[in-house]
Amino acid sequence: MRGGSIAVVGGSIAGCAAALAASRGGAGKVTVFERADAELRDRGVGIALHSDRYDELKDAGYVAPEMPWAPLTRRVWSVREGDAEHGRAVGEQPFPFRAYNWGSLWSELRHRVPEGVTYRSGAVVTDVDPDSDGVTLRLADGYEEHFDVVIGADGYRSVVREAMFPGAEAAYAGYIGWRGTSSDVDGLPLDGLAAHNIVFPGGHCMIYRIPDGAGGHRLNWVLYTAPPQTDALQPDLRTPTSLPPGRLNAELTARLRALVADNFPPYWAARVLRTPAETTFIQPIYDLEVPHYTSGRMVLVGDAASVARPHIGGGSVKALQDATALEAAWVAGDSWKEVLERYDTGRGAVGAAMVALARRMGSAQVENTPDWSAMEQPEFDAWWQDQNSGSDRRSGFGGHSLKAG
């Protein structure tokens, strides 16, 4: 299928990958509409790609060795035990991942978008109006244009998804991720090659190093737990949102800091509590399944489609794999109808499997945590296996394998 005008709503990792897919697929004109301005590149939080998924995406041409990354080899789960500086390890597991800085990975993908693609920053899409031969987009500044196909890469608050499936909104999982980054990376255990999960009743905190985009590293952490039911912030979380430092509720922040002080081994408590307030934010956790990845001439990729809780380590993987699948469908299809049907068939089941696995992991790791203090390696292994039981054999921790049968 060659030619045609394509709009990509959203210009982050999923959007850049989708624009690359459309260009490679043979689109005649591609325009990306990103609501943020240059601040988009300053998102410094960490993401990780399973090494096997990286190999698949490298072969497909969506990631490359020169993109800055930090190796991770294993993950250590530790619980506070008395005054022990690092706590006690309740379980260890292989962790063949590549850690990235969100901002630098986005920047690398942005540079790979062909020069012929128009990338509009500060472009807020307010209305998506489908018809029989395409879709009209309207922007907040009054701009309006008709496209043959519109790709929604605009995240879990997608306006394209709302046009496709009115009322299909990401649902609040009942807990949050408190995230932060700092330059406090000197002297990390195990030479910085391990991810560390600090566990406590009602949640855990994952800590690992990421590239800083300037040749060094930063410490990246995310703490998952349910906020107090009485907190005034709680009702606001049911509508998909995120809370940057300037909007953090003081009472919630104080309670989270107290949780760390009371439940973390001293070494890790200090690392988290020393993080500058201006580099922390709240990420409420949501999930969502959509009935289809396409409708008419509209397409969804990344979190605009299915939203999986982050515990499976596959969010960015899924966004990039969605793009590879879209490119493959584009190359194989002879009409818009065939292209979109191929893509929907190939990705819908994958999204559902990842959402289901992430819900099981969220239940085990946050909502219904075990008695961590009673665990040794055998108990940990059984607990971990129980979360993965029933998974599609291609979909597991780290994302979905494209190469498996």
Bridge partner residues of 121 (DSSP): 34
Percent of the chain surpassing pLDDT 70:
91
CA 248 to CA 259: how far, in whole Å?
16
Q: How far apart are CA 196 and CA 122, in angstroms?
A: 37
Across the chain, what does the average pLDDT equal?
90
195: number of Cβ within 10 Å? 24
**pTM of the entire predicted model:** 0.93
At residue 150, the pLDDT reads: 98
| pLDDT value of position 278 | 85
Chain centroid, CA 133 distance in Å: 32
- Which of 34-43, 292-301, 368-377 shows the lowest mean pLDDT across its residues? 34-43
pLDDT at 252: 83
Percentage above 90 pLDDT, the chain? 75
Measured in whole angstroms, how far is the alpha carbon of residue 202 from the centre of its chain?
22
Query: Whose structure tokens read 């379980």?
Result: 91
Distances in Å between the alpha carbon of 160 and those of 129, 135, 149, 166, 200?
Answer: 9, 10, 11, 10, 39
Distances (CA, A) of 61 to 15, 20, 249: 15, 10, 42
Q: How far apart are the first and last CA of the chain?
A: 27
Paired tokens of 213: 């985009």
Domains and CATH numbers, the chain: 5-43+104-169+289-367+395-400 (3.50.50.60), 70-101+171-286 (3.30.9.60)
For residue 122, give both structure tokens.
């500060």
**Residue indicated by tokens 């960490």:** 46
Amino acid at residue number 234? Q
DSSP conformation letters of 295-361: ETTEEE-GGGS-B--GGGS-HHHHHHHHHHHHHHHHHH-SSHHHHHHHHHHHHHHHHHHHHHHHHHH
Q: Alpha carbon 9 to chain centroid distance? A: 17
- Minimum mean pLDDT range among 38-42, 112-116, 252-256: 38-42
Tokens describing residue 162: 């709302």
Antiparallel, parallel or unpaired: β 298-300 and 149-152: parallel
CB 287 within 8 A of CB 173: yes
pLDDT band at 405 (very low <50, low <70, confident <90, very high): very low
Contact 97, 195 (CB under 8 A): yes
Tokens 């009409």 locate to 335
* Residue 229 confidence class, pLDDT cut points 50, 70, 90: confident
